[in-house]
Structure 1
């Protein structure tokens, strides 16, 4: 039977990561071009950089969630054997999908946090062309949030399938040809 405590802790970590990713998307850095009349040049001025912290927090909570679920399931490869059958096959497929969604979410969160923290220091003199202030594209943190949701969903199903396959294993009833001792 799957541990309800493990499932609740993982769900809480995933919900926190999801909320932080949504908050990061809402609070992305925005820039405006300002003119300095004293020195006669244009420059970029960025608003608050809180989205970087939100993105990094979402990254950490999703990482903790993945570590927790993998420790609880012994990363699928350690621990006692699993019963051959549908639950094991489902657990293997969900394990792979879980890691794929996790990596995509972490890449989105990390790239979004790094790019959001990057503030250009361009200045142009008034007689030159207008300047372009680099900012994070809209939707990077939202994509991370979407993959956090997928990771949360798949990891919960993975843990349930893994637990079902682990709990139904009975030594001596393995699929295969049984060989007795020969003298």
Structure 2
């Protein structure tokens, strides 16, 4: 039987990770070239760097969520074997899809956070072309948020399928009748 408390905790962690990833997309840093009037240099000026923190937070919440699900299901490889049937086949398929979407989400969030934290440090002369004030591309954190959502949904379905395939308590394999022999 699937634990409702575990599913609620994982849902809340996934929801927080999704919210942080969306917030990171909304608050990603932008840079623009500014000229220095005294030395005739152009340099990059960046606004807030809060999106990096949001991206790392989403990364960590999603990782904790995945660790909880995999610990509860013993990462699908340890423990008693699952009962054969459609629930086991569905659990195997969802296990693979869950790890793929998790990996893509984590890569998007980590790459977006690293790229958002990077700020160009060099200057150029006023008469040279302006320095490249590169920032994270629009949509990197949004892709991470989408895959966080997919991972959250798929991991919940995986856990339910795994729990169905694991089944309830095993039937007693011994004698079904009550022994009426005299005790010695």
Q: Under a length normalisation based on structure 2, what TM-score does the superposition of the two structures give?
A: 0.91
Matches within 5 A, 1:75-86: 75-86=75-86
Q: Secondary structure at the match of 1:100?
A: helix
Instruction: Give the equivalent residue in structure 2 for 1:46.
Output: 46
Structure 2 counterpart of 1:134: 134
Give the secondary structure class of the aligned counterpart of 2:44: strand
Q: TM-score, normalised by structure 1?
A: 0.91
Aligned-partner SS, 1:81 = coil
Partner-residue secondary structure (3-state), 2:124: strand
Residue 35 of structure 1: SS of its match in structure 2? strand
In the aligned structure 2, how far is the partner of 1:130 from the partner of 1:51?
25
> Could you tell me which residue of structure 2 aligns to residue 178 of structure 1?
none
Aligned residues: 173
Structure 2, unpaired ranges of 5+: 174-184
**Residue 177 (structure 2) aligns with:** none
Q: Which runs of 4+ in 1 moved over 2 A?
A: 168-173
Answer with 99-108 or 77-86: which moved more.
77-86
Deviates further, 76-85 or 17-26: 76-85
The Cα RMSD (Å) is 1.5
Asked whether the equivalents of residues 56 and 109 of structure 1 are also in contact (C-alpha less than 8 Å), the reply is yes
Provide the C-alpha distance between the structure 1 equivalents of 2:28 and 2:129, rounded to a whole number of angstroms. Answer: 26
Matches within 5 A, 1:16-165: 16-165=16-165
